Amino acid sequence: MELFEKYYSKVFLVTTAALLLCEAIGRQPGSGVAMWLLVLGVVLLGLPHGALDPMLARRAFGKRPFFTLGSFAAAYAALALLYAGLWILWPIVGLPSFLAISAYHFGGDWSGRGRVLGRFAYGCTIVTLPALWHPREVARIYSALAVTDADRFVQLSQIAAVAAAILGIYSAFSQWNERREDLFEFAGILAGAAFLPPLLFFFCYFCLLHSPRHLLETARSVGLTDLLAIVRAAFPVVCATMILAAVSWFSLPAGREDQSVLQVLFVGLAALTVPHMMLEKICERSTPATNTNLIRVVEQ
């Protein structure tokens, strides 16, 4: 586990650099390969970082009389389904709310360092900068998510991307003496968002940087100290989530395969992110000591 902690950020940077090189020489993976690579990364690394939420909830609320794992799972699933239903009924509300929530959540990757505004700029850059350099591809993704006015959302994302990138660069340089890896990570994010296809960029960031970081933090906070214990704890929840994803897939109307995959992937992630973030915030308020335990393990 110590080896994983030490090198996952470097794996993100090396993988991003390798894909940038492939892009430069014209040997980048096709859109279909990128999509399924992202799906695989989400299953193996993305879902496990939220699969420890039951353990996190039990640690925070286990002594309270109302708490059971069954009641927690029911409330968690209800919130996820409520947000998924909101997206299906009103995608014009679902997409921008998901982008805003994701920007805030991703900014938490640098929690405890710099100002809140700077961290939000990091997160906002991650979710909006691809629209500045790859507007057609981002518009295609937005359209696949049932947004009718995708071009308008791309234009708004481009405006936000410029402001966020400028503030994010300033924040990264201002934290140079505090933690130099922040600057390298943000440089990798900027380069990946600018030159990689959006799905490949999201694979690099979400699967190789964000998910391992949060997975390790949560594991530490609930007392899991080796990768095998993390796998055992996360496996049942990941399997249950995959079953729900399969049910969602088969319940979609017949259409293009790539569109269906994007819908299940991103609407599913959005639905799970809402209760995941709410639990994090509740735990932070109810158990202040957890914040100390969740300080970036990569600073070690």
What's the pLDDT tens digit per position in 184-239? 888 999 999 999 999 999 999 999 999 999 888 888 888 888 888 888 889 988 99
Query: Which comes out higher in pLDDT, residue 131 or 109?
Result: 131
Is the model's pLDDT at 294 over the cut of 80? no
Is the model's pLDDT at 255 over the cut of 80? no
Count other C-beta atoms under 10 Å from residue 165's C-beta. Answer: 22
Range 234-248 average pLDDT: 88
Is the model's pLDDT at 57 over the cut of 80? yes
Is the model's pLDDT at 65 over the cut of 80? no
CA 58, CA 72: separation in Å to the nearest integer?
9
What's the pLDDT tens digit per position in 115-129? 788 888 999 999 999
Is the model's pLDDT at 62 over the cut of 50? yes
Is the model's pLDDT at 289 over the cut of 50? no
> What is the value of pTM for the model shown?
0.87
CA 286, CA 204: separation in Å to the nearest integer?
33
Structure tokens at 249: 């897939």
Residue 177 identity (one-letter amino acid): N
Identify the sign of the CA torsion 23, 27, 30, 35. negative
pLDDT band at residue 290 under the 50/70/90 scheme: very low
Range 32-48 average pLDDT: 88
Q: 50-65 b/e with 16+ CB inside 10 Å = b?
A: bbbbbbbbebbbeeee
